[in-house]
Amino acid sequence: MSCSRRDVLRSAGVGLVTLTISGHSALASGPAADPGKVNGVLVDITKCIGCRRCEFACQESAGFEVPPIESFEDKSVMTEPRRPSPGSYTIINQYSNPRDPALPVYAKFNCLHCNDPACMSACLVHAFTKQADGAVIYDPWKCMGCRYCMVACPFQIPTYDYENPLTPQVRKCNLCAHRVPNELPVPACVKICPADVMTYGPRHELIQLAHDNIARYPDRYVDQVYGEHEVGGTSWLYIAGQPFDQIGFLNLPPEAPPRLTETIQHGVFKKFVPPLAWFGLLGAIMHLARPATAKESTPGNQP
Amino acid sequence: MNSISVNPVHTEHHTPLPAHRPLLTPGVWVLLFLMVIGAAFYFYRFIFGLKSVTHLDQQHPWGLWIAVDVATGVALAAGGFTTSALAHIFHREHYHAITRPALLTAMLGYTFVVLGLLADLGRYYNIWHPLWPTMWQGNSVLFEVGICVTIYLNVLYIEFMPIFCERFIGSQRYPRLAQLCGFLYRHLNQVMWLFIIAGVVLSSLHQSSLGNLMVIAPSKMHPLWYTPILSLLFLLSAVMVGFPMVIFESIYASWSLGIKAEVEILGPLSRYIPITAGLYLAFKMGDLVMRNSYVHLWPMDGPVVMFLLEMALPAIALVMLLSNRHRHNARWLFIAALLVVLSVVLNRVNVFLIAYQPPYATKAYVPAFGEFAVTIGLIAALIFCYRVIVNYFPVITHPELSRRS
Amino acid sequence: MNKYSHRADIVLPILPVGLVWLMLWAPAALGQASSSQPASQPAAQDKAAADEIMGQDCRSCHTCDQPTHDQLCLNTCSRELNPRDPKMYSLKGPELVLLDELSDRYLPVPFDHKGHSEMAAMTSGCNLCHHYTPEGWEHPACRTCHEISPAREDLHKPSLKGAYHRQCLNCHREWSHETKCSLCHLPRTGTENGSTPSAIPSKDDIIGSMHPPIPEPELLTYQSKYMINPSAQQTQITFRHKEHIDRFGFKCVECHREENCSRCHEPQEARTNTPKEHHQPCSSCHQTEPLANDTEQSACRHCHQPIGEVTQPFDHAATGWSLNRFHQKLACRACHNSVPFTAPVEKPTCTVCHGNWSPETFNHGVTGQTLNEQHQEIDCADCHTDRRFDQPPVCTECHEEEEIKFPDKRPGEFSPPETLVPKVDSTTP
């Protein structure tokens, strides 16, 4: 979050815990990422051939032990819809193609890197941060493993190491934020994709590109850019040849979930006035409602 | 402000005293047995991970432990703040006798909330992180809950301190402890009003925020439960369940300790329940109408039945308690209070488990035996601790206890 | 304290609850969460590079900014390209292309250009893969425009890797249903620093044999479920394939634009087209939608005929304008310069083609009308006003008498040849 907020925090001091919570809470607001710098990925679902190379590249990039690349040519795993898992941050699912039954449609699922991430708003220890380039990344050292992020995510993306008794992590795509500095700022899945399904670039340009493509090939695409408006917009955008709810995508409203919870939260803590007023009111009642006998009695009754 | 005495006005009829009952009764042996099983699974979880004990999966990150141990635990500990508000802030001195048991319930309740939470946290050793200023995340509803619960837990310990001290004041065996207790007792009482008000403020904040937790997942929540005013409903239900919980626990303890239930205190206290329950039900039904979500009451599937049950229980209790005769009968009081308590338990389980419908789930979440064992073990441990503390510390104010001592 | 009753107790719980409610909701209701949309900006258009390659502004040929294979959006200008001429592929294209720009995980891919160009020759020609390049120009290498880096400047253009793979996958995926990389790629294993020429198959192994020629059918018949009357269960459509090419001058690509390999290689999996899709290739010339006031559906009957009945080749005389033996040999487009051919021929003057006719060079006798001595010498335009030879000649230029009038009076002997003269005078043949 922004530096000014931090400064307020520091100046408020650690001693008056209750007061500082309020100062922090009241000042925090929506995400501060500059929309011009946010990068994203446009996925053209009509181009995907289901080769699962992105799954390979993702696991390789994440540093997992990866089976040989040829083993990813096995399409039988796609008969059942899968979800991202702690061992694979992205997966390809197969759906039937109403236009040509012989050529199924493949949809890629991974973290969409929301503009206004619910996981980040939910996390109570700042384990999630939205980087300037749009990536929503996770810091396992801050995490306390409450899994509220998994509850909050509208796309049901974060996964968890339930098997690990000591150092479990929330696992999800981090847009390859761990890549080495001199490498291209392109996620591993985008890099390996042979069919050029994914385009990496500034989000606003990708939206333009998506609409251009839809306008140019109205027969090939449905007129929707998934991720342009869903839950406040996402860095990953999708265009497809059939309605998105037929290929495993959720119908989600344009409102970002954190806007409501944070409005309520900051309303309750507005400059810490409501809790203090509540405290003062109760104190006044306590004082004024004293029965006459108690008022005369000496303080601190001894047994 | 003048220092306000928050200590009960002790007369010979109204002095809290240790119960001094035999400890290891058959009922307590059962509790111990449940605790041992729970503890076994509790420690098994820490050695082999959540997967080994729970049925949590990638679609269902929160299970029984969060819904019951944490959410319900916090709700049922509401008796502490409602009673202290009534007796200390609004000076209804008549109810001073029940503030100590309610306080003990709240203190133990929150302690076991933390114990339950520890088992559920994957990185439990990081539980202190929300207190560390660089990691404060003021946008998080859970942060608000966490910090309020932490402070409130400490407030509860401070509020309980005089009771602890009373036990040791004048002790010949521990003269230094007796001296310290005497000092604390004198000075704590002068500032206790601060902590009592803080307790009420903190409770109203985190009880409501607990409901706000699920507001962040609108697309995953069953429309019967999802509402932007979920936090208000949680606060109202916490206020509603406060007195019934005190009544329930008081009668339950009386029966257990073999003393007569104090209907002359609990009866008048129960007059508030129709008001709080009516308010809660009015808001809940008003919300149902305002959001047009009553259309989801049909077809009547599992969740709808759960919802209707959750609504019906306080309504029945409300009607029952309108009768003066019922209010002065321990059995009826107990049933009515139990209905309200059950409805709040049901509500918390509904909101956190039944209403949470993850979009890609292929199978429903059914808690594992280990999860039940830990939850039951924790409740058993709570009751056991209550029993032990009531036995050795001056918590219960009862004429029968006074006579025996 | 035993008698416990306070009237104020009734309102007691309402006060804190109401207060908290106000505190919870008043600020929440006031502060409206706002959502902002990033302003959409047009993508950066860097046409300078393309202009440099082509030597001219893209707009001189393309009507849109981003032409693609299947949407060229070309201006109407003359482009001489005969995709049916297989010679141009075997003569001009390379036999083998080594695609080695992206060989990091795999060895370079040897591409059998000859084989593929021969296959392409049966449909859209070079344009099946290459962007259109005017006659006499070299096709630029794909990498001239398509960026190798996946972090590319122009997001509208596929990266080089994508351009290559999509080119191949268009057909390969269709009949194999597989995405086996090993079909084209050899893994970079066994050698230390990669490229070892010996690992790549020899040229002779790669360059395949020519695709067997596909005979051009003279006549095709199709069965249709469409009924023209209740007694006939099916109707038959005759398509004179050869006539459409030779006479009507269609290029393969004009109908076979959507064609692909699986059409022939996996015909059993051909999907069922809608009537509209079936009619699409014909509808540029033929009326394929029933007319609103046409209860007989005569437009449909034009092609849908009872089983066994074969439509005859087109006879121009059916239009009311029979052609002479010279004009019969011409392709329709020689006169009709736009489809459909039912449109009136613009300026149907003979001199469009026969521009060099003069009294000296033209033997007027071929029209059946031999000119006598007086008329042999005069200029064509004296009788044929404005050299409109399809109009009746006028005599008033020289003859002032009213009674001298064509065809009552003729400028010489006349022997009407049936096939040479239009049966009906009409300006719209």
Structurally, how many domains does chain B consist of?
Answer: 1
pLDDT of C11 above 60: no
pLDDT recorded at residue A8: 37
Distance between CA atoms of C269 and B271, rounded to whole angstroms? 77
In chain C, % of residues over pLDDT 70:
57
CATH number of the domain that B298 lies in? 1.20.1630.10
**Does some domain include residue C14?**
no
pLDDT recorded at residue B169: 86
Helices assigned H by DSSP within A86-199: 118-122, 148-152, 188-192
Distance between CA atoms of B140 and A142, rounded to whole angstroms? 14
Structurally, how many domains does chain C consist of?
Answer: 3
Residues contacting residue A232 through CB under 8 Å, at least 6 positions apart? A114, A115, A116, A254, A255, A256, A259, C35
pTM as predicted = 0.75
Query: What is the Cα Rg of chain B in Å?
Result: 21
CATH number of the domain that A250 lies in? 3.30.70.20
How many interface pairs between B and C have CB atoms less than 8 angstroms apart? 40
Of C28, C71, C159, the CB nearest to A216: C71
Query: What is the Cα Rg of chain C in Å?
Result: 36
pLDDT recorded at residue C110: 84
Contact A163 B49 (CB under 8 A): yes
**Does some domain include residue B25?**
no
Residues C334 and C425 in one domain: yes
pLDDT of C82 above 60: no
> Residues A293, B212: contact at Cβ < 8 Å?
no
Of A83, A163, A301, the CB nearest to B5: A301
pLDDT recorded at residue C8: 37
pLDDT of B119 above 50: yes
Residues contacting residue A117 through CB under 8 Å, at least 6 positions apart? A31, A128, A130, A136, A258
Q: Tokens at residue C68, please?
A: 């693609």
Chain C interface, best mutation among B90, B262, B271, by max C CB count within 10 A: B90
**Does some domain include residue B377?**
no
Between A160 and C44, the higher pLDDT residue: A160
Distance between CA atoms of B147 and B201, rounded to whole angstroms? 13
- Flag the least confident range among A181-185, B168-172, C194-198, C326-330: C194-198
Of B119-133, C11-25, C349-363, highest mean pLDDT: B119-133
Q: Using CA atoms in the order B381, B386, B388, B392, what is the torsion angle rounded to 10 degrees?
A: 160
> Residues A257, A102: contact at Cβ < 8 Å?
no
On chain C, the residues whose CB falls within 8 A of the CB of A280 are none
**Does some domain include residue A28?**
no
pLDDT recorded at residue C267: 58
Residues C86 and C201 in one domain: yes
**Three-state SS at B136:** coil
Residues C242 and C361 in one domain: no
CATH number of the domain that C56 lies in? 3.90.10.10
Query: What's the average model confidence in pLDDT over A111-118?
Result: 95
Task: Out of C175, C206, C237, pick the residue that ends a domain.
Answer: C206
C228-287 pLDDT, tens digit per residue, is 666 666 788 888 888 888 777 777 767 776 666 666 776 555 556 677 777 877 877 777
Average pLDDT, chain B: 91
**Does some domain include residue A79?**
yes
Residue C13: name the closest of B270, B375, A136, A152 by CA.
B270
Say what the ipTM of the complex is. Answer: 0.91
pLDDT recorded at residue B374: 96
**Does some domain include residue B379?**
no
Instruction: Report the helix count and the strand count for chain C, using DSSP H and E.
Output: 14, 5
**Does some domain include residue A279?**
no
**Does some domain include residue C271?**
no
**Does some domain include residue C9?**
no
N-term to C-term CA, chain A? 54
Q: How confident is the model at residue C150 (pLDDT cuts 50, 70, 90)?
A: confident
Contact A281 C19 (CB under 8 A): yes
pLDDT recorded at residue C51: 54
pLDDT of A169 above 90: yes
Query: Peptide bond preceding B299: is omega within 30 degrees of 0, i.e. cis?
Result: yes
Contact A263 C31 (CB under 8 A): yes
pLDDT of C215 above 60: yes
Long-range contacts of the stretch C365-373 (C-beta < 8 A, 24+): C366/C420, C367/C420, C367/C421, C368/C414, C368/C415, C368/C416, C368/C417, C368/C420, C368/C421, C369/C410, C369/C411, C369/C412, C369/C413, C369/C414, C370/C412, C370/C413, C370/C414, C370/C415, C371/C411, C371/C412, C372/C411, C372/C412, C372/C413
pLDDT of C378 above 90: no
Query: Peptide bond preceding C407: is omega within 30 degrees of 0, i.e. cis?
Result: yes
Query: What's the average model confidence in pLDDT over A56-77?
Result: 89
> Residues C97, C113: contact at Cβ < 8 Å?
yes
Burial of B399 (0-12, 13-18, 19+ CB in 10 A): middle
Contact A102 C151 (CB under 8 A): no
On chain C, the residues whose CB falls within 8 A of the CB of A217 are 71
**Does some domain include residue C141?**
yes
**Does some domain include residue A87?**
yes
Residues C233 and C372 in one domain: no
Q: How far is C40 from chain B (nearest CA, A)?
A: 28
Of B200, B232, B276, the CB nearest to C24: B232
B39-61 pLDDT, tens digit per residue, is 999 999 999 999 999 999 999 99
pLDDT of B328 above 50: yes
pLDDT recorded at residue A121: 95
Q: How confident is the model at residue C46 (pLDDT cuts 50, 70, 90)?
A: very low
**Does some domain include residue B13?**
no
Range of the domain at A45: 39-257
pLDDT of A98 above 60: yes
pLDDT of C142 above 90: no
Range of the domain at C253: 215-264+297-312
- Flag the least confident range among B211-225, B338-352, C95-109, C405-419: C405-419
Q: How confident is the model at residue C181 (pLDDT cuts 50, 70, 90)?
A: confident
pLDDT of C116 above 50: yes
Residues C100 and C242 in one domain: no
**Does some domain include residue C125?**
yes
**Three-state SS at A191:** helix
Inform me whether the C-beta atom of residue B273 falls under 8 Å from chain C C-beta atoms.
no
> Residues B252, B76: contact at Cβ < 8 Å?
no
> Residues B84, C16: contact at Cβ < 8 Å?
no
Q: How confident is the model at residue A20 (pLDDT cuts 50, 70, 90)?
A: very low
**Does some domain include residue B223?**
yes
pLDDT recorded at residue C22: 47
Residues contacting residue A33 through CB under 8 Å, at least 6 positions apart? A115, A130, A131, A132, A134
Structurally, how many domains does chain A consist of?
Answer: 1
For helices B26-48 and B369-392, the axis angle rounded to 10 degrees is 130
What is the secondary structure of B375-397 as a DSSP string? HHHHHHHHHHHHHHHHHHSS-EE
Helices assigned H by DSSP within A186-268: 188-192, 203-216, 257-268
pLDDT of A93 above 60: yes
pLDDT of B317 above 70: yes
State how far the alpha carbon of B404 is from the alpha carbons of A68, B25, B263, B392, C312, in Å: 80, 20, 20, 15, 123
Inform me whether the C-beta atom of residue A281 falls under 8 Å from chain B C-beta atoms.
no
pLDDT recorded at residue C328: 75
Between B281 and C155, the higher pLDDT residue: B281
- Locate tokens 């010996």: which residue? C198
Query: What's the average model confidence in pLDDT over A259-272?
Result: 89
Inform me whether the C-beta atom of residue B121 falls under 8 Å from chain A C-beta atoms.
yes
What is the secondary structure of B18-81 as a DSSP string? -----S--HHHHHHHHHHHHHHHHHHHHHHH-HHHH----SS----HIIIIIIIIHHHHTTHHH
Query: CB count, 10 Å around CB of B329?
Result: 16
Residues C306 and C392 in one domain: no
**Does some domain include residue C81?**
yes
Residues C351 and C429 in one domain: yes
On chain B, the residues whose CB falls within 8 A of the CB of C1 are 93-94
Contact A51 C181 (CB under 8 A): yes
Range of the domain at B97: 59-359
